[in-house]
Structure 1
Amino acid sequence: MTTAAHRPVRWGILATGGIADAFAQDLRLLGDEAELVAVGSRTAESARRFADRHGIPRAHGTWQDLADDPDVDVVYVATPHSAHHAAASLCLEAGRAVLCEKPFTLNLAQAQDLVTLARRRELFLMEAMWMYVNPTVRRIRDLVADGAVGEVRSVHADFGIAVPYAAAHRLHDPAQGGGALLDLGVYPVAFAQLLLGAPDDVSARAHLNPQGVDENTGILLGYDSGAVANLSCSLTTATSQYAAVNGTRGRIVVARDFFHPDGFVLHRDGHDPEEVRLPADPGNGYTHEAREVVRCLRAGATESELVPLDGTLSLMATLDNVRDRIGVHYPGE
C-alpha cells in the first residue's frame, strides 16, 4: 500500500474522547501532508459532535462504517486500550492502515494477532508510542548508541499520577484494562527497552486495589550484561516523571516528563554538564507520530523503523510478565 505523494494522506479517527481531540488538533499542523476526512464512534450523535468540532466532512455512527469508508487511508484508533484489539482488527480486515494507541493491546496474544493480521494483509500497522518518535528521546537513544555515557549499567524511570479510587473509573476497573501498569507503566518499560532491549529477567511487586488491578507498582528488569532497569508507576501519587540513564562514563538525566521531553542534561566524566534542549513539541505532541505514519505510507512501508512491530511485541511480552508476577489478570484471559 503506497499513498500518492501528490495528495494528503487521508485519516479517520476511531473514538471521540480526549486523546482523539488532541490528535485531531495536531493533524492540522501537518498542513497538506494530512487530511482528516472521517470519524467513527459507537453512536451517530457522538461522531457528529466530534465532526462538527473539528470540521470533519463525514461522521460514522459505527466503527464498521468508518473502517469501510473507501476515502480513508489510515485509521487512528483512540479507544481505551481494552477495545484496541477489536477496533484495530476491524480496520485491518477492511483494508485500512492503522495507528493504534498504546498500550497496543491488553496482552501479548492480542498484539500478536494484530501483527499477524497486518503482515498477512500487507497493511501498515504501528503502535502510537509517541515517545519513540519524540526528537529528544531519539537524541538520547543516539547518544547512548554512540557511547556518550559508556556502557549502560542502569536505567531509572517513574510515572505516577494521583487518581482517587472510584470503582467505575477506567483506570481502576479490570473490565476496562485498568491499573497503573498498562496506562502509565508502559512508558518506563518502553524507555528501558528502547535503550537496553528485552530483559532477561523480570521482577515486580505491586499493591492492588479492591478490584484486583495494580495501583502502585515497582519493576526491576535484569540483563545478562549486568545492567538493570529500576522502574515504577502509580495511581496513588504524582511523581516527577523522571528518568536517568547511567553508564560507565557518564549519565543522562531527564528531570521531568521523560516520555515527551524537550531537554535533558548530559553528564560525561571529565566534562562540565551539558544541557541539551530541542524545540518544544508543536501542538499536543502528536505530530511526530502522525508524520512518521505519513512517511511510511508514502514509502509503501508496512511498519516503522522507529516503532517496529517486533519491538511492540517485545514490550507487550514484558508487560505480561510483570502482570503475572503481581497477579493482575483481566476478564477473559
Structure 2
Amino acid sequence: MTQPSSRLRALVVGSGHRVRNAFLPALNLLDSHVEVVGIHSRTYENARRAGERWGVEAIEDPRVLRPGDIDVALVSVTVTNNVAVLKSIAHLAPGAALVIDTPGMGRLDDLARLTQFRKWAQIRVGEDFMNMPQYRLVGDAIRAGALGDVSRISMSEMGYRYHALALLRSWLGLLPPSSARSQRIPGGVNISYRFKGGKVGEVSEPYRQGVGSFAVTGSRAVLTGHPMGNEIRDAPGARLVRLEGDAGLTGFAIDGLETPMTIDLSHHATLAAMGLEDDSEFNLLRIDGLSQVISSLWNADPVNSRYHLEDAVADNLVSFAARGIPWLPAAAIRLRGAGR
C-alpha cells in the first residue's frame, strides 16, 4: 500500500479500554490519512459509547459492509476472541489490510487457523511498545552504525514477556532468538536470549511500567538510558535524555555520540489535550507508537513491515516457554512466514 491519494477507510473492531485509549486516539492523529467509517463490538451499546466522542458510527452487524467498503480493519479484542472476530469480518479481507494487537493467537490450537489471517492483503502487528518514540530513536542509532556492531543489550525492569523480546529483536535487525536461559527471582524471571553471531539480550524482571534502565553495548560505543529519558547517575557512554519545553515533554535525544540524534514528539501536545481516561505520559508515548504501526501501511518503515504476525506469535510462545524452562532451544519455535 503506497501513500494514499485519498483517506483510507477504516473499521475498528472492539470497544474496550485499549480501543478507547489507544486505537481511536491514534487514528485521530492520522485523520488526514484515515477515515474511521465505523466501530463494531460484540455489544452494540459499548461500540456506540466508544465511538461517540470521536464522531464514529457504531455498526451492529459488520455484514452490512461489503468487500471494498473498507481499506483497513483494526482489531483489538481479547486474544481468545481474535479468530472468531476475524471469521465475522473475513468477507472484508480481500484487498484490505489488518492491524491486530499482539500476539494474535490465544491458544495453541489457534495456530491451525492462521489461514484466517492470510486472507488479508497486509497485516501489521499492533506492537506499540517497541514503537515508542524513544525506542525508535535508539533503533535509529543502531541502524545508523553509531554504536558499531551491537553484541549485548540489557534491559532491567522495563520489558515484559513478548513485548520485551520484540523490542530486543527490533534493535537487532529482527534476528530470531536461538536459545534462552532463565532464572526465577522474587517477583519474576530473568531471561537471557542468545542470537546469531553471539549476540545476547538480557531481560531482568520484575517489570515496572515506565521505570528501569537499558544498556546497548556496541563495538564503537555504549548507549544507556531510562525508558522515559530520566537521568541515570554515573551511566557510562552515550545517554538517552528527555527534551522538555514549557508544556512538558517535547522529544528525546541521544547525547554522547559523534553525531547527536533527536526525535520530536509532534503529536504529544495534541494527545495530552484529548482528555483520555489514561492520559499518563507512558500511554501517550504508546499511542505515538501505535500511530507509527498504522502509518507503516503507507510509509517506509524499517521494522513494522518486516515484523509479521508469525514473528509476534513465535515471540509470545518463546517468551512464555522461557519463563518455565531453564534452557530453551528457541530456534525450534519458528513459524512459516516469520521474518529472518
Cα distance change on mapping 1:33 and 1:223 into 2, 3 Å: closer
Q: Which residue of 2 aligns with 1:289?
A: 293
Q: What secondary structure, in the 3-state scheme, does the structure 1 residue paired with 2:227 have?
A: coil
Distance 1:143 1:325 in 2: 29
Please tell me the root mean square deviation across aligned C-alpha atoms, in Å: 3.5
What residue identity is the alignment partner of 1:19?
Answer: R
Give the CA deviation at 1:108.
7.5
Q: Is the 8 A contact 1:244 1:254 kept in 2?
A: yes
Find the counterpart in structure 2 of residue 247 from structure 1: 218
Q: Distance in 1 between matches of 2:303 and 2:90?
A: 21
More deviation, 315-324/218-227? 315-324
1:30 paired with 2:68, answer no
Q: How much has 1:136 moved relative to structure 2?
A: 4.5
Summarize the alignment of residues 154-233 of structure 1 with structure 2, pairs less than 5 Å apart.
154-159=152-157, 184-196=160-172, 197-206=175-184, 216-233=188-205
* CA distance in 1 between partners of 2:307 and 2:109 (Å): 13
SS at match of 1:31: coil
Structure 2: how far apart are the matches of 1:88 and 1:11?
15
Counterpart contact for 2:177–2:193, Cα < 8 Å: yes
User: What one-letter code is carried by the residue in structure 2 that aligns with 1:280?
Assistant: L
Alignment of 1:75-94 (within 5 A): 75-94=73-92
Q: Deviation digits for residues 114-169 of structure 1, max 9, x if unmatched?
A: 4x4444x3512110123455554344323223322122121112455xxxxxxxxx
Distance in structure 1 (CA, Å) of the matches to 2:179 and 2:319: 10
Indicate if the aligned counterparts of 2:153 and 2:215 stay in contact, CA closer than 8 A.
yes
Question: Does the 8 Å contact 1:242/1:257 carry over to 2?
Answer: no
1:84·1:101 contact (CA, 8 Å) conserved in 2? no
Q: 1:275 to 1:82 in 2, by over 3 A?
A: farther
SS at 2:35 equivalent:
strand
Instruction: Give me the whole-angstrom Cα distance separating, in 2, the residues matched to 1:105 and 1:158.
Output: 27
Aligned to 1:299: none
Q: Does the Cα contact within 8 Å between 1:205 and 1:325 map onto a contact in 2?
A: no
Q: 1:55 to 1:267 in 2, by over 3 A?
A: same
**Shift in CA distance, 107/191, structure 1 to aligned 2, threshold 3 Å:** farther
Kindly tell me: are residues 294 and 248 of structure 1, through their superposed partners in 2, closer, same or farther at Cα, counting changes over 3 Å? Answer: closer
Question: Is the contact made by 1:200 and 1:223 (CA closer than 8 Å) also made in structure 2?
Answer: yes
| Match status 1:256 vs 2:256 | no
Whole-Å separation in 2 of the counterparts to 1:4 and 1:244: 36
**Letter aligned with residue 220 of structure 2:** R
Letter in 2 for 1:317: A
Q: State whether residues 152 and 217 of structure 2, in contact with CA within 8 Å, keep that contact through their aligned partners in structure 1.
A: yes
TM-score, normalised to structure 1, is 0.70
Q: Please list the CA deviations of residues 216-250 of structure 1 after superposition, one character each: whole Å capped at 9, or x if unmatched.
A: 23211013422211113446x55614322111221
Contact 2:215 2:223 in 1 (8 A): yes
Contact 1:149 1:247 in 2 (8 A): yes
Task: Check 1:4–1:203 CA distance in 2 against 1; reply closer, same or farther (3 A cut).
Answer: closer
Secondary structure, aligned partner of 1:32? coil
- Percent identity between the two aligned chains: 18
Match of 1:306 among 292, 295, 303: 303
> CA 1:232 to 1:107, structure 2 compared with 1: closer, same or farther past 3 Å?
farther
Aligned equivalents of 1:113, 1:316: Cα separation in 2:
13
TM-score scaled to structure 2, two decimals?
Answer: 0.69
How far the C-alpha of 1:111 sits from its partner, in A, is 6.3
In structure 2, relative to structure 1, the CA distance for the partners of 1:98 and 1:312 (3 Å cut) is closer
Deviates more, 1:309-318 or 1:78-87: 309-318
The structural deviation recorded for 1:76 is: 1.0
Unaligned runs of 5+ in 2: 230-241, 243-250, 272-283, 326-340
Counterpart residue number, 1:165: none
Gaps of 5+ in 1: 161-180, 209-214, 297-303, 329-333
Query: For this pair of structures, how many residues does the alignment match?
Result: 281
Tell me, yes or no, if the aligned pair for 1:220 and 1:228 is still in contact at 8 Å. yes
Q: Deviations over 1:266-306 (max 9, x none)?
A: 545xx6xx76432125133133223223548xxxxxxx763
Pairwise CA distance, 1:99: 0.4
